[in-house]
Amino acid sequence: MTTIPLRKWIAGSGLALALTGFGHAAMAQDEGPIRVGILHSLSGTMAISESTLKDEMLMLIDKQNEAGGLLGRQLEPVVMDPASDWSLYAEQARDMLTGDDHVDVIFGNWTSASRKAVLPVVEELNGLLFYPVQYEGEESSENIFYTGAAPNQQAIPAVDYLMSQGVERWALLGTDYVYPRTTNKILEAYLKANGVADDDIMINYTPFGFSDWQSIVSQVKDFGSQGKKTAVVSTINGDANVPFYNELANQGISAGDIPVVAFSVGEQELTGIDTAPLVGHMAAWNYFMSVDSDANYDFIDDWVAYTGNDEAVTNDPMEAHYIGFNMWTQAVEKAGTTDVDAVKDSIIGVTVPNLSGGASTMMPNHHITKPVMIGEIQDDGQFSVVWQTPTTVAGDAWSDYLPGSKNLISDWRAPLRCGKLDVESMTCEDGPGAE
């Protein structure tokens, strides 16, 4: 049985005002600001993607403060720069949760390697992390909220779309780290379950920052010349994408010959580069800047005004932070406190607008509902949406296509509170529910 401290019961019961006699204003003065951790690389190889998310979080915090703050208190950002060093993410997350500027929540990380480094820290110290980037699944933490896409919200629908276009051979190209390797493991199992032969699947991994694509692209070209329609499914991350697409063009491979669908190329990554070699290739996301909705136009206007740059772009991880931040503020309001355990309970079922004109809901597995979209790259660096799901898709923490995961679900509601629940045996394999 969990004992609730009296102060939490009072705060959550609606009796705080009557018992204190001062109300929220006095409480706000006593408690000071609510500190929000921002853990994104502002230097190193990931800065091109993550620095934008830091700026967006500052914008969202400013807007919340202009609207009166949260629980009558102002929000105060605590910004750190892990400098694209996975171990520094863990070190700085610990500093955020234990230092003088103790934060109530962290918004951050990009790569799965950095998230994996931070996970044990937020679990040990009972922190909250909102993670905004597509990832490989096969993970569920009571202390992490996954607002980016799980594989069933990006990778699987992208393959389904390509199959509907007649693709029969598959080159799975990725950067050599956990996200591409696990995603491709899921995709390989999914393709084989759909009758694709081993000989029709090519898998290759390259280091971060890889630039010498001539030999690999030549192999892809040969792989695609066997009489079957071929596509590349790309989990290539970061600046390695530029020489990859350039080499496709150098070897005369167009989107009409061997289309590429990417999971880590968005509007931000296309900024300032020649998009001519990329036109017609695709990306799978849950949001594109080109989406036609009032909510999106308002967000773009806010972003342009905040940056002072008429050419500023938005992208999918920015929408994920927008959704996650609004879910967190709503959960705090609902709980009447920033207490981590109270927020974890109150956020389940919270629904907020997304930027495509619909809404996203936080599910019991700490993933959210999202639409899935396929966009074709245009010569202006934007995407034209060519396909999307008719409704939102709920993210799966555990893949249906891996033998060790197909019977697993995650449910962090009481009384289960389990990250790996085997639905056949109804036993919890880990988490607080494992006894």
Tokens of 97: 């949760």
CA pair distance 316, 322, nearest whole angstrom? 10
Q: What is the pLDDT of residue 434?
A: 40
Q: Residue 305: CB partners within 8 Å, gap ≥ 6?
A: none
Domains in the chain: ranges and CATH = 17-150+293-370 (3.40.50.2300), 152-291+375-394 (3.40.50.2300)
Which range among 28-37, 60-69, 85-94, 362-371 shows the weakest confidence by mean pLDDT? 28-37
345 pLDDT band, cuts 50/70/90, is: very high
Q: Give 267-291 pLDDT, tens digit per residue.
A: 988 887 788 888 999 999 999 999 9
Q: What is the pLDDT of residue 268?
A: 86
Comparing 272 with 43, the larger pLDDT belongs to 43
Q: What is the pLDDT of residue 31?
A: 73
Q: Give 357-399 pLDDT, tens digit per residue.
A: 999 999 999 999 999 999 999 999 999 999 999 999 999 999 9
Comparing 348 with 49, the larger pLDDT belongs to 348
Q: What is the pLDDT of residue 13?
A: 37
Dihedral, 198, 202, 205, 210 alpha carbons, nearest 10: 180
Q: What is the pLDDT of residue 242?
A: 86
Average pLDDT, the chain: 91
Residue 105 has pLDDT above 50, yes or no: yes
Q: What is the pLDDT of residue 276?
A: 87
Which range among 156-170, 255-269, 318-332 shows the weakest confidence by mean pLDDT? 255-269
Q: What is the pLDDT of residue 395?
A: 97
Q: What is the pLDDT of residue 338?
A: 98
Sheet (strand 230-235) strand order: 201-206, 169-175, 230-235, 260-262, 282-285, 373-377, 383-388
CA pair distance 428, 434, nearest whole angstrom? 5
Q: Give 3-24 pLDDT, tens digit per residue.
A: 333 333 233 333 333 333 334 4
Q: How many CB atoms lie within 10 A of CB 119?
A: 20
Relative to beta strand 144-146, strand 129-131 is: parallel
Residue 162 has pLDDT above 80, yes or no: yes
Backbone angles phi, psi at 38, to 5 degrees: -125, 110
Q: What is the pLDDT of residue 209?
A: 86
429 pLDDT band, cuts 50/70/90, is: confident
Average pLDDT of span 67-74: 98
Q: What is the pLDDT of residue 28?
A: 41
Residue 176 has pLDDT above 60, yes or no: yes
Cis peptide before 353 (omega within 30 of 0): no
Residue 199 has pLDDT above 60, yes or no: yes
Q: What is the pLDDT of residue 259?
A: 97
Give the long-range contacts of residues 85-91, CB within 8 A, separation 24 or more: 85/44, 86/111, 86/113, 86/114, 86/116, 86/117, 87/117, 89/39, 89/114, 89/117, 89/118, 90/117, 90/118, 90/120, 90/121
Q: What is the pLDDT of residue 15?
A: 36
Residue 118 has pLDDT above 50, yes or no: yes
CA pair distance 432, 234, nearest whole angstrom? 36
Dihedral, 322, 323, 325, 327 alpha carbons, nearest 10: 160
What percentage of the chain reaches a pLDDT higher than 70?
A: 92
* Rounded to 5°, angle at Cα 250 from 246 and 255: 70
